[in-house]
Chain A
Amino acid sequence: MDEAALIQQSKYGDLDAFNRLVLAYQDQTYNLAFRLLGEDASAQDATQIAFINAYQAIKSFRGGSFRAWILRILTNVCYDELRRQKRKPTEDLNPVDTDTGEEMEDPAWLSDDSLSPAENVEQQELEKAIQNCLSGLPEEFRTVIVLVDVQGMDYQEASKVVRSPLGTIRSRLARARQRIQDCLQNVGELLPEKYRLNDESRP
C-alpha cells in the first residue's frame, strides 16, 4: 500500500495504517531527535511523543512531504524538551571513567560490527566530537545543519521542516558550517589524524 493511502486510512482512525508509517519513518525521526538532543533517552521520548502528536493531528495533514511534516512535529517536540532541560538541568547518567574523569559512552550505541576495534574507537571519538560541536550550536542552526548535512535533505524539504524560506536555510546552513568547522578545528588535535580539517598534508 502506498504512503498516500496509509495517510488517508490514518485520517479515518486506522491505527494499523498509521503504525506502518511509523515503522517507515522511525529511524529518520529518532536519528534527528538524537542529533538535536544529544542523548538516547530524551531522543526516544521525543520520538514517541512526536508520533503520538502526529497521529492526533493527522487530519490536519494537507499533503506534501509526510517526512517533512513528521520531522517538523518532532523538531517542535525537541525544542520543547531543550527548553525544559534549560529550566531543569539534569545530571548526565553516563558513567564517568575514574582514571581520566571523562564520561564513558554506552558502548552498545557506538560500536559498529563492520569496523575493527581501532576504527571503532576512532569513529567514536569523531562522533563524540561532532556531537559536542552540534550541541554547542543555537537550536535553529543545529536543526538546519542536521537536516541537510546529517540527514541529507535538500534545501526545499528542510525549509518545509523548519517553516523558513530558502534564503534563511542557506544563511543558517552557511553559519552553522562555519561554526562546526571552527569547533572541529579547535578540537582537531583530539581527532584521529585522517579526520583533521587543518591537516596540511591533505590536498
Chain B
Amino acid sequence: MNKRSNLSSNDWLLLSAYLDDQLSEVEKRRMDERLQSDPECCLALETLRRTSSLLRSLPVRRAPRNFTLSLKSLPKRSIPSFFGILRFSSAAAAILLTAVFALDFTQSSLLLSANRSAEDAQTALVMESAKIPAAEAPEAESPMIIFWGAPAPMMGAYGKGGGGGGAEGSGFGGGAPATSFFGIGGGAAEEVLPEAAPLVEELPAAQATPSADMPAPDVFKNQQTETEVQPQTALVPEPLTGSGPILGVRPPEERVSADSVIETPLRQPLSEKVPPLRLIEIVLAAIVLLTAIPAWLLRRK
C-alpha cells in the first residue's frame, strides 16, 4: 500500500533533500520540527532512506575489459566530417531553395500584374487601330466576324494558343487581323482564354441573324476545351471584285498598316518567356535530395 498519500510532492522533495543534507538552515529547522510531530513524515523519511541505501548497495560493475585507446582503434575523422558536410549542404540548399521559391513567387506576381497592364495597353492599342474599320462596318460588332484577310491555313500553323487570341480579336469588333494575335505566344493566349471563351460561346446566337448584305462570315465554335478553338465551317467567300470597302474585308493597304502597328508591341513578351529561377530551383532541389538522403543514411548507421 502506498503510504505517501497524505504527503504532497513538495513534502517528498524536502524529505529527499533533507536526506542528503541539501536543505537551507531554515528549511532544515522546519523539517526537524515536523518530523518530531508527524509520524507519517517520519515513516516516509525512513522509507526514502532505505530506498536510497538499497540503491547504494548495488555492486559497482567493474569494467570487464580495458577501454584504453590505440591509434588503430581511433576512427578516421573523414566519415564524420563527410557526414557534417552533407548535413550542412543539405540544410543550406533547403534554405536557399525556400528563398528562391519565395523570390519566384514574388516575381511571378509582379510579372502577372505587369502583363495585365501590358495587355490593357495592347487592348487599347487594338481598339484604337480598329476604330476606322469598326466605324465603316457597324455590324462588325458581332464577335464572330473574322476578316477574310486572315488566311485559314496560317491559323492551323500557329496552333491552339493562336486560336484563343483570334477569338479575342474578333471580340474587339474585328478591327485587328487574326494573324497579328498569333504572335502573342502560348502564355499570353492562355491568360486571355477565360475572357475569350464566353465570346466564342455567343457565336451560335449571333449566327442566327446574319446580315443579308454581309458575306458569310467565318465562324468559330467552342469545342471540348477552351484552348481548342478551331474553325467549324470555313465558308469559302465568293471572289470579291471592286475596290469599295466591304464589311469584314479590309483593304490590303489597311491590313498592312494595322499589322505593322499591332505586331510590334505584341511580340515583346516573347523575350520574357524563359524563367531563369526555375533552373535554379531544380538544381537546388536536386542538391537537397542528393545530400540529405546520404546524410540520413549515414546517421542511421
Partners in one complex: yes
Q: Which residues of A are in contact with B by a Cβ distance under 8 Å?
A: 15, 18-19, 22-23, 26-31, 34-35, 40, 43-44, 47-48, 51-52, 55-56, 109, 112, 123, 126-127, 130, 145, 148-150, 152, 154-155, 166, 170-171, 173-175, 177-178, 180-182, 184-185, 195, 197-198, 202-203
> Mask for B13-47, Cβ within 8 A of A = 1, else 0?
10111001010000000000000000000000011
> What are 22 A-B residue pairs whose CB atoms fall within 8 Å in the complex?
A15-B69, A15-B71, A18-B69, A23-B66, A30-B64, A31-B61, A35-B61, A52-B74, A145-B55, A150-B56, A152-B56, A155-B20, A166-B22, A170-B16, A173-B16, A173-B20, A174-B12, A174-B16, A177-B16, A178-B4, A197-B47, A197-B50
- The 8 Å CB contact of B55, one of A55, A149, A178, A202, is A149
Closest-by-CB residue of B relative to A108 is B64
Give the Cβ gap from B114 to chain A, nearest Cβ, in Å.
52
Tell me the complex Cα distance, A110–B204, Å: 97
Closest-by-CB residue of B relative to A191 is B54
Residue pair A44, B2 in contact (C-beta under 8 Å): no
Return chain B residues, CB-CB under 8 Å to A152.
56
CB contact under 8 A between A52 and B73, given known A26-B66, A149-B52, A170-B17: yes
> Mask for B234-270, Cβ within 8 A of A = 1, else 0?
0000000000000000000000000000000000000
Tell me the complex Cα distance, A31–B48, Å: 23
- A27-B62, A51-B67 known; 9 other A-B pairs, CB under 8 Å? A19-B68, A27-B60, A29-B63, A127-B58, A149-B56, A177-B16, A177-B48, A181-B47, A184-B54
Return chain B residues, CB-CB under 8 Å to A123.
59
Return chain B residues, CB-CB under 8 Å to A18.
69
CB contact under 8 A between A174 and B13, given known A44-B65, A52-B75: yes
Return chain A residues, CB-CB under 8 Å to B50.
197, 202
Interface size on B, residues (CB 8 A): 40
Q: Which residues of B are in contact with A by a Cβ distance under 8 Å?
A: 1-4, 9, 12-13, 15-17, 20, 22, 46-48, 50-52, 54-71, 73-75, 77
Return chain A residues, CB-CB under 8 Å to B62.
27, 30-31
Closest-by-CB residue of A relative to B55 is A149
Residue pair B64, A44 in contact (C-beta under 8 Å): yes
Return chain A residues, CB-CB under 8 Å to B9.
174-175
CB contact under 8 A between A171 and B13, given known A40-B64, A155-B20: yes
Residue pair B63, A47 in contact (C-beta under 8 Å): yes
Give the Cβ gap from B35 to chain A, nearest Cβ, in Å.
15
CB contact under 8 A between A197 and B51, given known A27-B60, A150-B58, A178-B4: yes
Give the Cβ gap from A203 to chain B, nearest Cβ, in Å.
8
